[in-house]
């Protein structure tokens, strides 16, 4: 059974990551997302809304699964490649994709959102517990690939991206909107509806012209996600560093509590 649910109406396909409890991105979820995007386009979708769970869009890569692979470099390469293939599938999608972010989006969840055309994020119902989004890789000992850095740079600017990524900052939703990391904040129960509304307005434009212009405007994003800008072998080598492994195991232990 697919870990990505699909619903189609009025030329828009809604895809929802559906791997409880937090949509941790394991190879099956990533591969299912690639397949679901391709199926949506093949079925004639004019646009796609990509959603996740309530309170957690996606918690990023499935770290416990990755740690369970130990020193199996081939298995690690395959697992990470499945994630980057999913992100690339969003970046290269020939029709617009809107991220409907109904909760936190750290690390890999943030990457998927940054590959989308537009980001609608929920405003937490509890102001004391705001939803957050960001690339927090450095906090767990991971180097951010140059291609992923570019995703952040293109939405918040070069210097601000440097500050956020170097610190591994998880940005509160209100600030994320102010700096352009997300495009809109709406109440939790309106995220999907607003994503559809924005997409529907875009789809009123002459489609061939819109899509061609979109492809030109997003060429840098597509280039950023190519393997030469990710350098996966170098990334896997850093993954195996003892300090990185210690930080990741500490993270898993914290989550387990």
What is the overall mean pLDDT for the chain? 95
Q: Indicate if the pLDDT at residue 51 is higher than 80.
A: yes
Q: What is the pLDDT of residues 87-144, one digit of tens each?
A: 999 999 999 999 999 999 999 999 999 999 999 999 999 989 999 999 999 988 888 9
Cα separation, 91 vs 217, whole angstroms: 12
Domains in the chain (CATH in brackets) are 4-256 (3.90.226.10)
**What average pLDDT does range 224-242 have in this prediction?**
89
pTM of the model: 0.96
Binned at pLDDT 50, 70 and 90, residue 156 comes out as very high
Cα separation, 73 vs 83, whole angstroms: 16
Q: What is the pLDDT of residues 16-39, one digit of tens each?
A: 999 999 999 999 999 999 999 999
Q: Which residues of 201-240 are buried (b: 16+ CB within 10 A; e: fewer)?
A: ebbeeeeeebeeebeeebeebeebbeeeebebeebbeebe
Structure tokens at 194: 């607003």
Share of the chain above pLDDT 90, in %: 85
């Amino acid at each position: 059974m697919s870990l990505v649910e699909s619903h189609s109406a009025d030329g828009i396909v809604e895809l929802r990551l559906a791997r409880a409890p937090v949509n941790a991105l394991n190879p099956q979820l990533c591969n299912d997302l690639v397949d679901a995007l391709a199926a949506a386009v093949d079925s004639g979708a004019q646009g796609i809304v990509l959603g996740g769970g309530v309170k957690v869009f996606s918690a990023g890569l499935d770290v416990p699964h990755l740690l369970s692979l130990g020193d199996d470099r081939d298995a690690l390469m395959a697992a990470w490649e499945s994630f980057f293939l999913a992100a690339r599938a969003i970046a290269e999608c020939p029709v617009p994709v809107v991220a409907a972010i109904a909760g936190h989006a750290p690390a890999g969840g943030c990457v998927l959102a940054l590959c989308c055309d537009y980001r609608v994020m929920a405003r937490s119902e509890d102001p004391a517990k705001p939803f957050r989004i960001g690339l927090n890789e450095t906090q767990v000992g991971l180097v951010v690939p140059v291609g992923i850095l570019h995703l952040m740079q293109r939405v918040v600017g070069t210097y601000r991206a440097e500050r956020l990524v170097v610190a591994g900052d998880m940005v509160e939703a209100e600030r994320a909107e102010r700096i352009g990391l997300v495009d809109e904040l709406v109440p939790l129960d309106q995220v999907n509806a607003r994503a559809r509304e924005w997409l529907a307005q875009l789809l009123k434009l002459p489609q061939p012209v819109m899509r061609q212009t979109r492809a030109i405007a997003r060429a840098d994003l597509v280039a950023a996600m190519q393997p030469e800008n990710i350098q996966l072998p170098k990334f896997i080598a850093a993954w195996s560093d003892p300090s990185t492994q210690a930080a990741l195991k500490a993270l898993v232990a914290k989550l387990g509590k």
